[in-house]
Every structure is written in structure tokens, then in C-alpha cells.
Amino acid sequence: MLANFVQATYIVAGILFILALAGLSRFETSKRGNAFGILGMLLAVAATIVAVWGPEAWRGDDWGAQMPSFIGGGGVLPLVLLIVAMLAGALIGLIKAARVEMTGMPQLIAQLHSFVGLAAVLIGFNVFIEVRHELVAGFLVPDAGFHLAEIWIGVFIGAVTFTGSIVAWGKLAEKISSRPLTLPGRNLINLATVIAIIACGVWFQNSYSWIPLILLTLLSLFLGFHLVAAIGGADMPVVISMLNSYSGFAAAFSGFALGMNVLIITGALVGASGAILSYIMCRAMNRSFISVILGGFGATTAVQGDGPAGEIQEIKADELAALLADAKSVMITPGYGMAVAQAQYPVAELTKRLTDAGVEVRFAIHPVAGRLPGHMNVLLAEAHVPYDIVFEMDEVNDEFDQTDVVLVIGANDTVNPTAMEPGTPISGMPVLHVWEAKKVVVFKRSMKPGYAGVENPLFFNENTYMLFGDAKASVDNINNALPAADGRAAIGA
């Protein structure tokens, strides 16, 4: 039976998605996890093509009872429409994948979330057209109330995901300001909007009318925009994870509306894993998940001083090379600036040279370094930095006071001691205690504050030195100077 084949293939695809998620949970099995995910998606797409096009002779008596609601009578036209949509999506995906840099991965993920949200809204509209036609015609629609609830909840979550993801993309891509939009009474506005959305949902279920569904969609679009616009840049990594969860639940409700088991399984996996990741990230950043999604953090305007908080000490590449040659232990704390400069490759070379010279080199990675969990680990793995010298913040944060030199390459907010003080956008966020090391060298282009807009007093510490310029060029210069280093510290001797 064709229906049994399609449904069995969907179940196999769902199992492969579960295996993919399990594989992606560990660095060593991540490639295998990706392979499972790709195979699962291929099977799901193939089963859908067969279901849409399947010849009449392949079908059995249980076709109408087992097939998802979107399956029509088969034929050439539905198949052509499906293939055109698939080719368009594949073309957009290939162009995006070919053009995106690793530094742009968070922005790309936000864009993909917006596509999922928009798809959920359009699916809800399409299913409602079918259901409404049957209801108005007087046909008996089993569980009509439950079906309509699936539609409006899916549209609600999808619309919130769509506009929220667009705002997150704009903030991450610096198309709009990362500062929070703090409208007066913003929490009351959100609460009133949610109540209005629920009221429209109840109205929709009892009227079968387009008016409440359109109002509900517009209100949901506004809510998604306002929720994310009210969150400051310091919490944007949590927002990306949260939107990932929303997109999963939107897909799951679309699966209920369509009667597609594979979409329900996939959406539930993405929604649950995104929610768990958001909770873990909030704990790592000492944030309340509820407060983050309500815009409660990142909302304090950074207090900019009248000028520098002291005198800075500059260092040149050749001087730093001599300092590193004389060190016994070096800790490298990378950030988004390293990713932008594509400095991971010369940093990997520097690591190898120092290690070969007998210097202990380790990497300290903040949970949100690179604006996305695991982003910095991927960059370092891409440059073949040994995985066993890359540590999470909690593993090495109490060892900075035993470190000779810390290299802060492109990081700012994640090494800002201001986070340990009240009244700033990053207050309460755990940071790397780099200032406890004997010497700290900060690689920066300028004295401009970090992504959260908070000035960093670390730059003016007595044991801190600034190396200005492009991070990649600076590390290249250090590598070139290392062979000529005479083994004596050039400064602070």
C-alpha cells in the first residue's frame, strides 16, 4: 500500500532526525549526526513527492484515511508545483550557504528561523481555506474545534517567530541598533497583546471568519517584533536559541494541522532542544529565562564616561613575541573580533609554535563567545586547534591567576569586569577573569566599547597592554617575530 509506504518512510525519517540530534550533542559524533539529518530530510522529501504524485494504481482503500490533509488527487500539476517550490528553496539555500562566512552563521540561523515562521503562517492560512470551505458547505468536519485551534496557535507562534527572527537578524548583522527598544509600559503592552491574541483565537474558533485570524496574525507579528526589539544585544545569543525553539513548535503545530507525523516529530525535537539550550544558556549567563524573553535584561543604557578611565599601555607585535617566548603558560580567550578578522588560522599557528617551544597554551571559551553557542569551538576546530586544549569558561576560570600571559583576541563583553557590578546591561553575566593573570594583552582595532555598548575598565589596568590593529595581521606579525625573540620579556621585566 502506498499510504503505508509513505507513513513508514516518515517514521524512519523522524528516527533519523532523533539520531541526528543525538550525534550533534558531541563534537566527536557531529559529522555522523549531520549525515543522519541529511538522510532523514532526503527520505521525508522523497516520501512527500511519492505521496503527491503516486499513481492511482498504487493506492489502497486506506489512502484517504492515512494520508496528510495536503495530499490531493495526485497528477502532474501538484508535482510540478512541488518541484518548483523545492528548486526555489534549494537555490536560495545554496546561494546562502556559498556566501555566508562563519562569522555570519548567527545571522543566517535567524533568517532561517524567519522562513520557518512564515511557512507556519502560510500553512495555517492554507489549511483554514480547506477547512472553512467544508464547514461553510455544511460538511461534517471531525474535531473541527481542535483543528481550528491547531491553525490559530500555529499561526500565532509562526508570526511571532517570523518578525522576532527578522529583528534578531538585524541586530546581529548590525543593520539596526543592538540597544533595546524600551517603550513606556512595554510589559503591559506585551500582556495586552497576548490577551488580545487569545481573544481573537476564541473568536476565530466560534466564527470560522477570516477577520479574527487576520487580526490575530497582525497582533502576533507586532508581538514578535516588540519582544525581540526590547532585548539588548548582550542577551541576543539567548534570543537566537529561543527563536529556534519557537520555530520548532511552529513546525510541530503545522504538522498537527497537516496530519504529518514527521513534521510533528521534527518540530517537537527542535522546540524542546531549543528550549533546553535557552535554559542552559540563561543559567550560564546568570539570567532568568522569563526575564530575558520579556526584555528584562539588556535594557539598562550603558553609562558612557566623559573620557578614558585612565592611561592605556600599548605593546608592539615584536615586544609581545618576546613576552610570549619568556612565558611558561599562555591562555587565549577569543571572541567575535577574531572570527570577523578570520584570525583563527594564524592563532592556530601561534599555538603550535609556542607549544613546540615548551609553552603551555590553552583556550578559554565563554559560553556565548562569537554570539552563538559553540561558534568559537567550530572556528578553532576548522583551524585544527587541538580539541584537548580548548576549555569552557567554568573549567579554567579559577586558573587565570596561575597564568603568565592572557591574549584577549577580539573579545570584549565576555572579559569585562563591569559584569560583576550592578547597573549595567551585562550585570550578572559570568565573565572570564582574565584580569587575574600576570599580564593581559588585548587585541583590538580601537577603544570602541563591545557589542553591549559598555566601556571596559580592563583596558586601563596596570597589567593590561593593548595591541591595536587587525587581529589576523597582528598575530601574523607575532608569528614572524617569534623566531627572533631572544627569550627575554620586553616589558615588565
**Tell me: the pLDDT tens digits for 99-108?**
887 767 778 8
Q: For residue range 352-378, what is the model confidence (pLDDT) as tens digits?
A: 999 999 999 999 998 777 666 677 888
**Same domain for 65 and 131?**
no
> What's the CA dihedral at 270, 273, 274, 278 to 10 degrees?
180
Stretch 284-311: mean pLDDT: 56
- 23 neighbors 273 (Cβ within 8 angstroms): no
Residue 306: its H or E element: none
**Do 157 and 247 belong together in one domain?**
yes
pLDDT band at 482 (very low <50, low <70, confident <90, very high): confident
Asked if 164 and 252 sit in the same domain, the reply is yes
Domain boundary among the residues 99, 132, 166 is at 99
3-class DSSP state for residue 216?
Answer: helix
Asked which of 99, 134, 168 is the last residue of a domain, the reply is 99
- Which of 413, 470, 476, 486 is an active site residue? 413
153, 208 in Cβ contact below 8 A? no
- One-letter amino acid at 70 equals F
Span 404-427, pLDDT tens digits:
999 999 888 889 888 888 777 677
Q: Show the domain range for 86.
A: 1-99
Residue with cell 523522524: 14
Beta bridge partners of 465: 441
Summarised one tens digit per residue, pLDDT across range 159-216 is: 999 999 999 888 877 788 777 787 888 889 989 999 999 999 999 988 888 999 999 9
Query: Residue 138 in contact with residue 407, Cβ under 8 Å?
Result: no
pLDDT tens profile 318-328: 899 999 989 99
Distance from the Cα of residue 53 to its chain's centroid: 36
Yes or no: say if 390 and 377 are a contact pair by the CB < 8 Å rule.
yes
CA angle 72, 74, 76 (to 5 degrees): 130
What whole-number percentage of the chain has pLDDT above 70? 83
Amino acid at 106: P
Residue identified by cell 495586552 is 192
Is residue 413 part of the annotated active site? The answer reads: yes
CA angle 312, 316, 317 (to 5 degrees): 135
Whose cell is 499561526? That residue is 155
- Is it the case that residue 151 has pLDDT exceeding 80? yes
Alpha helices for 100-209 (secondary structure H): 105-136, 144-172, 186-207
Burial 94-126 (b: 16+ CB within 10 A, else e): eeeeeeeebbbbbbbbbbbbbbbbbbbbebbeb
Considering the domain architecture, whether residues 88 and 115 belong to the same structural domain is answered as: no
Has residue 183 been placed in a domain? yes
Closest CA to 222 of 162, 295, 179: 162
Same domain, 131 and 95: no
Closest by CA to 201, choosing from 246, 153, 247, 258, is 153
pLDDT band at 73 (very low <50, low <70, confident <90, very high): low
160, 294: one domain: yes
Say if residue 221's pLDDT is above 90: yes
The verdict on 116 and 179 lying in the same domain is yes
Let me know whether 348 and 467 are in one domain: yes
Question: What pLDDT, on the 0 to 100 scale, is given for residue 304?
Answer: 45
Q: How far apart are CA 289 and CA 266, in angstroms?
A: 24
CB atoms near residue 399 (< 10 Å): 16
Which among 219, 217, 196, 199 is positioned nearest to 207, based on CA atoms?
Answer: 199
